[in-house]
Amino acid sequence: MKSIRGHLAASLLVGLLAVLTAGGAALYGAMRLTLTREFDGALLAKAHALVQASRFEHGQFEFDFVADVMPEFVRRERAEYFQISDADGQVLERSRSLGDGVLSAGEPVSTSPVLWGVRLPDGRPGRALGLEFTPQLDLDGEPAVREGGAPRPDPQPVHLIVARGREDIDRPLSALLGGMAIAAVLLVSGTVYAVHRAVTTGLSPVREFVEQVCAIDAPSLSARVSAEATPAELAPVGAAINDLLGRLEGAFQRERRFSAGVAHELRTPIAELRSLTEVAARWPDDHERAGRAVRHAFDIAAQMQGMVAALLTLARAQSGEQPLELEPVEVRAAVEGAWARLAVRAGARGVTMRLDVAPGLSVVAEPAMLGSIAYNLLDNAVEYSPAGARIACLGAEDQGTVTLHVRNPAPELTPGDLARLFEPFWRKDAARTGGGRVGLGLALVKSLVETMGGTVGVDHGDGELTVSVHLPAPGGGGESRG
């Protein structure tokens, strides 16, 4: 699982550490360069002073070293060293600090100064400067031509090597390193703390958001994630959750209404059954009454059985658990089949039907489901039409959708009733007197149609109710498999 907090903290920390490291390295490098330059400048100045002290007199090299002026070449502590040798490597002059030691050139010495790192005779690390120069000719009191006629020898170039310890470079640098290390420790711990704080406070809206969401449970589905308390970055999540909650709440409410409807519908027949049998049992010798009670009990059982069957079908259609076997089904045959089952009841009420569905008009549906849809539509029309009414059943195809209209006179229906028509257990006037009416027929039709990817519609005008079912036509592009 990804932790935003861990990820943010880690990347912030790594980034800050990289910046700090780079900054420290740059500072160290600049410091080292400056110190080395200063050191080398001082070394060069010393070399020049030594050059000044060199002469060529009487044909040989002379050196006027004044120990007082340059004590560093004499002392033992933090001693500095020089050595002057001729071109053959013969040492002409060396600092007292060098004793009998020799400074070897790390680089070829030339007339321009060269510098290199060196290990000093006392073991310290140091830097050395090598320079080739020609000592000044001193002619004080010397004839231009030597005795014996020998020409005055020209001054010969000599090699000077000056070396001193790198302490002046290394000490400040190590002090700098130490300072930087302390600073780094402080910075890193400060950074860790700051990052932790920043990430924690930065993510606190997320935590509050999560708390809000966690507080929502089944009884409080009407709660919504508040928009003010939701960080902008999580607004889409909040909106999605609110949307989901809205749908859940709706579903729960429907479920509750449905359960309440079921409970209510079961209470009435149970009350009938109980009262009838109780009253009959009070007077066991009244056989006529007992006979009537038994007949009623049988009717009630049949009614409850029908209701349970309808409920099961509805639940099955809504759950969508069974895979659908969709195939082209002829509408007219389905309507005729349903009407045949209703003919007796319709005949008793003098209700007739005008069937206006072209033979061959087909929809993509599951045959049993289409039969159930047609039956429930017509059953509803037969039941709630006035006696002697004429029901119209029309079929039409338009742009890949087949529509089946069932129209019947419904003079008592008001426009306000239309919205509730497909609600389970809804019946106009709540009149339960009509024997086996449960109020599930149209709810079942809607569920079945929607399960097969269709829609239902309802229209009311001139005292006539039209319930329409839209289902995809075969090859109409609107085919869907649920």
Footprint of other proteins (CB under 8 A): 260, 263-264, 267-268, 270-276, 278-279, 282-283, 289, 292-293, 296, 299-300, 429-433
The secondary structure element, H or E, covering residue 39 is helix 4-52
CA 123 and chain centroid, separation: 62
- Using the CB atoms, write b or e for 428-439: b if 16+ within 10 Å: eeeebeeeebbb
CA dist., res. 313 & res. 371, Å (int): 13
The secondary structure element, H or E, covering residue 280 is helix 235-282
Number of alpha carbons in the 13 Å side-chain half-sphere of residue 328: 9
CB of residue 301 to other proteins, shortest distance in Å: 12
Contact 382, 346 (CB under 8 A): yes
CB of residue 307 to other proteins, shortest distance in Å: 14
Q: How many C-beta neighbours within 10 Å does residue 27 have?
A: 13
CA dist., res. 12 & res. 161, Å (int): 52
CB of residue 405 to other proteins, shortest distance in Å: 29
CA dist., res. 11 & res. 13, Å (int): 5
Q: CB nearer to other proteins: give 152 or 296.
A: 296
Q: Which of these, 438, 455, 353, lies nearest to 402 by C-alpha position?
A: 455
Q: CB nearer to other proteins: give 293 or 363.
A: 293
Structure tokens at 206: 């997320």
Q: CB nearer to other proteins: give 245 or 276.
A: 276
Q: CB nearer to other proteins: give 247 or 292.
A: 292
Strand order in the sheet with 455-461: 352-356, 390-398, 401-409, 464-472, 455-461
Q: CB nearer to other proteins: give 104 or 222.
A: 222
The secondary structure element, H or E, covering residue 335 is helix 331-349
Structure tokens at 400: 């890949």
CB of residue 255 to other proteins, shortest distance in Å: 16
Q: CB nearer to other proteins: give 274 or 420.
A: 274
**3-state SS assignment for residue 481:** coil
Q: CB nearer to other proteins: give 76 or 282.
A: 282
CA dist., res. 2 & res. 324, Å (int): 40
Q: Which runs of E-coded beta strand occur in 284-351?
A: 327-330
Contact 433, 343 (CB under 8 A): no
CB of residue 387 to other proteins, shortest distance in Å: 17
Q: CB nearer to other proteins: give 60 or 268.
A: 268
Q: CB nearer to other proteins: give 200 or 259.
A: 259
CB of residue 472 to other proteins, shortest distance in Å: 40
Structure tokens at 341: 């089952």
- As a residue count, the chain comes to 482
CA dist., res. 81 & res. 72, Å (int): 8
Q: CB nearer to other proteins: give 263 or 387.
A: 263
CA dist., res. 192 & res. 259, Å (int): 57
CB of residue 265 to other proteins, shortest distance in Å: 8
Contact 47, 119 (CB under 8 A): no
CB of residue 378 to other proteins, shortest distance in Å: 24
CA 291 and chain centroid, separation: 72
CB of residue 464 to other proteins, shortest distance in Å: 22
CB of residue 417 to other proteins, shortest distance in Å: 14
Q: CB nearer to other proteins: give 77 or 429.
A: 429
CB of residue 388 to other proteins, shortest distance in Å: 21
